[in-house]
Amino acid sequence: MGTVATVVLALALIATYLTWTASRMDRLHARTDAARAALDAQLVRRAATALEVAASHGIEPLRAAASAGYHSEQDARAAAETALSEAMRSVSLDEESATALAEAGRRVVLARTFYNDAVRDTVAFRQRRVVRALRLVGHAPEPEPFEIDDTPPLDTPLADTPPIRDAPVSPRVVT
Amino acid sequence: MNVGIVCPYDWDVPGGVQAHVRDLAEALIAMGHRVSVLAPADPDDDAAAALPDYLVPAGRTVPVPYNGAVARLNFGVISATRVRRWLREGDFDVVHVHEPTVPGLSLLACFAARGPLVATFHTAIERSRLMAVAASALQPGLEKISGRIAVSEAARSTLIAHLGGDAVLVPNGVNAAHFASAEPLPGWPGEGGALGFLGRIDEPRKGLDVLVDAFERLAPKRPALRLLIAGPGDTDEVSEALAPELRSRVTLLGLVDEGTKARMLKSVDVYVAPNTGGESFGIVLLEALAAGTPVLASDLEAFSQVLDGGAAGRLFPVGDAEALAQAAGELLDSPQERDLLRTAGAAVAKRYDWSSVARQVLAVYEAVR
C-alpha cells in the first residue's frame, strides 16, 4: 500500500513538473512573439518618422533608406534597417526633427534589446533536455535574434547604451 | 497609464532604491499616470500617517544579510498573498519591480505577475557563487520580465555577468529644482573658501581620509579655508584625528536630512567626492551639480561618466591626496573655472532630472505593453 502511494505521489509530482515546464515554454514563446510585434511596430514607426522628416526637408537619401526598410524581405531587412540608422545619423536637421528621429531611434533600441533578450531566454529553454525529449517546444519555430546597427542619431543617456556584444563586463562592489 | 511599482526594501528606512522608487512614482504621477507602490512598511506604526497616498504597505520586514549589509525584507506566505491581492486589485498595465534578485516582494511579484513586467537592477556586485546558484533558482520568475533596466554601466555589467542577456540603461534621476533652490547654511561659504564632503565618515571607501589629508596640505597656506562634512558616523573620532589647530576649521554636521543636505551642497565652493571605489553611479555628484556647486571627484569610472569625462567637473587620480589638494587649490583660486564647471554641470543635472528620466522609463513601459 505504501509503495502504491509513493508511486502515485511520484507520478503526480512528475506530472505537475511537466505541466509547469510546458507552461513556462509557452510563456517564453508568447513573450518572444509580443517582443517581436513590438519591435516591428517600432521599426515601422521609425521609418514613418524618417519618411515624414525626409518629405518635409526634401532629403532624398533618407526617404530612400526609410522606404527600403518597409519593402525589403526578411533576409534583406536587417541590412535595410542598418542603412536607415546610418542615413538618420548622417542628416543634419532642425532641433524638432532631430529630436523626433532620435526618439524613434531610441524606441527601436529598447524594443530590439527586449526582443533579443526574449529570444535568448526562449532558445536556452528550448535546448533543455526535458523540453527536447518531450517535445514541449510544440510547433513554434526557433526564434532568431535581430541584429542591426540601430545607434540613434542624438547622443543622449539612452542612446549611450553600447551594442550588446561589445559590452565591457567589469562588475564592481557597491552597497 | 496604470503602473504598479514594487520596492523590496523597507519604506521607513532611508536608502537609494527607496528614494529612486519614490521619485519615479512622483514624477509619473506628475505626468498624469496612475501609480501604486507596494513596499514593506508597518501600517500600524506611527509613521503610517506619513506614508504617501500611492503607497500600499506590505507589512513588517525581517532582517536579512545581503551584499555585505543587512537588508530588511519581507517574504513568505503572507507576503505572497498580499502581492497577489495587490496585483489583482491594481489591474496594472505594467508592473515595474526593483531589484528582483533580492529575496523579497519584487521576486514574489515576478512569480505572481501575469501582465507586462519591467525590472530595474540597481546593484553592482562582484561575481559571487551565491548569485550564480540563486540565478538558476530565480530563473522561472526572472524569465517573465519583458524589459530590463540597469541604472548604471556597472549595474548593467553585473546583470550581464550573473544573469546573461542585456538591459537598457536608464540612469538614476535627481530632483534638480530641490537642490537648485536651496539656501546656503548661515555663514557659508565665507571669504576664505570652503570644501564640502558628504557620505559615511567612517567608511574607508567614501575616502574622507584622502580629503582630510589634502585639507592638511592646503590649510597652512590658506588660513581661512574651511571644510564642511555631512554624513553619519562617529564625528568625535574624526575630530580627534585632526591636527588640533585645524579642528576649528572643520565642521561636522553628522547625519543630515534631505533639506539640510541640499543646503550643505550650496554652502561650499567646491564639492569633493574622494571615493576610492564601490560607486556604481554617484547620485550625490549630480545633486551637487544641480545645486550649482563645482565638483572635484576621484576618477572612478562611474564618476567620470557622470562628469562627462571631466567636462562637467574636475577629476583627480583615486586616493591621491596631493593631486586632490592641488586641483582644489586651483579651483578655489579660479572663479572663472568654477563658473565654467557650474554651467556645464547644470546641463548635466538637467539631463538627469527626474522629469527627463521618468520619460525614458515610460518609453520602456510602452515598449513592453
Residue A174 to residue B168, Cβ atoms within 8 A: no
pLDDT at B152 over 90: no
Q: Indicate the residue of A113, A171, A175 with minimum beta-carbon distance to B126.
A: A171
CATH fold, domain B2-173+353-368, is Rossmann fold (3.40.50)
Smallest CA–CA distance from A163 into chain B, residue: B166
CATH fold, domain B176-351, is Rossmann fold (3.40.50)
Q: Which residues contact B336 (CB under 8 A, 6 or more apart)?
A: none
Sheet holding B250-254, edge to edge: B250-254, B226-230, B194-198, B270-273, B295-298, B314-316
What is residue A33's predicted lDDT score, i.e. its pLDDT?
A: 93
List, in sequence order, the alpha helices (H) in chain A. 2-57, 60-71, 74-90, 95-126, 129-133
- What is the average per-residue pLDDT within B239-251? 84
pLDDT per position as a tens digit, B180-199: 898 988 888 888 889 999 98
Residue A174 to residue B147, Cβ atoms within 8 A: no
Residues lower than pLDDT 70 in chain A: 1, 154-175
The C-alpha angle B14, B109, B153, rounded to 5 degrees, equals 60
For chain A, what are the domain ranges?
A: 2-157
A156: chain B residues, CB-CB within 8 Å: 351
Q: Which residues contact A126 (CB under 8 A, 6 or more apart)?
A: A25, A132, A137, A142
What is residue A165's predicted lDDT score, i.e. its pLDDT?
A: 33
B124: chain A residues, CB-CB within 8 Å: 171-174
pLDDT at B297 over 90: yes
pLDDT per position as a tens digit, B100-112: 888 788 888 998 8
What is residue A58's predicted lDDT score, i.e. its pLDDT?
A: 84
What is residue A168's predicted lDDT score, i.e. its pLDDT?
A: 36
Average pLDDT, chain B: 85
Q: A4 CA to chain B: closest CA distance, Å? A: 31
**For residues B93 and B1, is the Cβ–Cβ distance under 8 A?**
yes
Residue B170 to residue A156, Cβ atoms within 8 A: no
How high is the ipTM of this complex?
0.81
What share of chain B has pLDDT > 70, as a percent?
A: 91
pLDDT at B362 over 90: yes
* Alpha carbon distances (Å) from B235 to A127, B37, B186, B245, B253: 58, 36, 21, 17, 8
Q: A133 CA to chain B: closest CA distance, Å? A: 20
Residue B165 to residue A121, Cβ atoms within 8 A: yes
State how far the Cα of A120 lies from the Cα of A118, in Å rounded to an integer: 5
What is residue A156's predicted lDDT score, i.e. its pLDDT?
A: 45
Region of poorest pLDDT, from B42-56, B249-263, B283-297: B42-56
- In this complex, how many residue pairs, one in chain A and one in chain B, have their CB atoms less than 8 Å apart? 108
pLDDT per position as a tens digit, B110-134: 988 888 999 999 877 655 566 667 7
Q: Burial code of B226-248, b = ≥16 C-beta within 10 A, e = fewer?
A: bbbbbbebebeebeeebeeebee
Same fold, B2-173+353-368 and B176-351: yes
Residue A167 to residue B160, Cβ atoms within 8 A: yes
- What is the average per-residue pLDDT within B7-15? 82
State how far the Cα of B181 lies from the Cα of B270, in Å rounded to an integer: 18
Half-sphere exposure of B21 (CA within 13 A, CB side): 35
What is residue A166's predicted lDDT score, i.e. its pLDDT?
A: 34
pLDDT per position as a tens digit, B334-357: 899 899 999 999 888 888 899 889
Q: A152 CA to chain B: closest CA distance, Å? A: 14
Q: Indicate the residue of B127, B166, B170 with minimum beta-carbon distance to A116.
A: B166
Q: Which residues contact A139 (CB under 8 A, 6 or more apart)?
A: none
Q: Indicate the residue of A31, A156, A171 with minimum beta-carbon distance to B154.
A: A171
Confidence of residue B166 (pLDDT cuts 50, 70, 90): confident
B126: chain A residues, CB-CB within 8 Å: 171-173
Residue A114 to residue B146, Cβ atoms within 8 A: yes
Best residue in B18, B20, B153, B170 for a mutation probing chain A (most A CBs within 10 Å): B153
Best residue in A117, A127, A156 for a mutation probing chain B (most B CBs within 10 Å): A117
- What is the average per-residue pLDDT within B310-333? 90
Handedness of CA B1, B167, A140, B138 (dihedral sign): negative
For chain B, what are the domain ranges?
A: 2-173+353-368, 176-351
- Which residue bears the cell 542628416? A91
B171: chain A residues, CB-CB within 8 Å: 157
Q: Which amino acid is at A105?
A: G
State how far the Cα of A93 lies from the Cα of A52, in Å rounded to an integer: 13
Q: B108 CA to chain A: closest CA distance, Å? A: 16
Residue, of A167 and B16, whose pLDDT is higher: B16
Greatest pairwise CA separation for chain A in angstroms: 84
In 3D, which of B330, B352, B353 has the Cα closest to residue B341?
B330
What pTM was computed for the model? 0.80
pLDDT at B270 over 80: yes
What is residue B257's predicted lDDT score, i.e. its pLDDT?
A: 83
In 3D, which of B261, B213, B256, B266 has the Cα closest to residue B235?
B256
Q: A127 CA to chain B: closest CA distance, Å? A: 15
Backbone angles phi, psi at A38, to 5 degrees: -65, -40
Residue, of B165 and B25, whose pLDDT is higher: B25
